[in-house]
Structure 1
């Protein structure tokens, strides 16, 4: 996928668990896990906003464009 989520790295740097972050932003563990493991096909701006607020970070710390990597639909 050309867009990569670095949520796991940011969570590790902030020492925040999946359960703690899910509780903070009001999202299910299953949906947060999908984001953390780069299985998401989309992310709402409201979710991105909540993540940035809870992790005290910028969107660019969570989302990364990886040039040259095909999107999953292109495989």
Structure 2
């Protein structure tokens, strides 16, 4: 995900969280962190990063509040 998209997704998540603060709806976003790519090596040399194959695997499971469990879920893989 390009930097602009990351900022947009994170910003949108904060805004959704703010709008729904009193409704019991939570907004969450997951970011893979620093991923070892050619671009990372070109710009930062030996800066450590996660293996791209590892980042592709799901790393977290969000537990919905009991009152919302099973009502709705939305996910995106990129």
Q: TM-score, normalised by structure 2?
A: 0.23
Q: TM-score, normalised by structure 1?
A: 0.23
More strand by share: 1
- Structure ID, larger Rg: 2
Name the structure, 1 or 2, with higher relative contact order (CA <8 Å, separation 6+). 1
More helix by share: 1
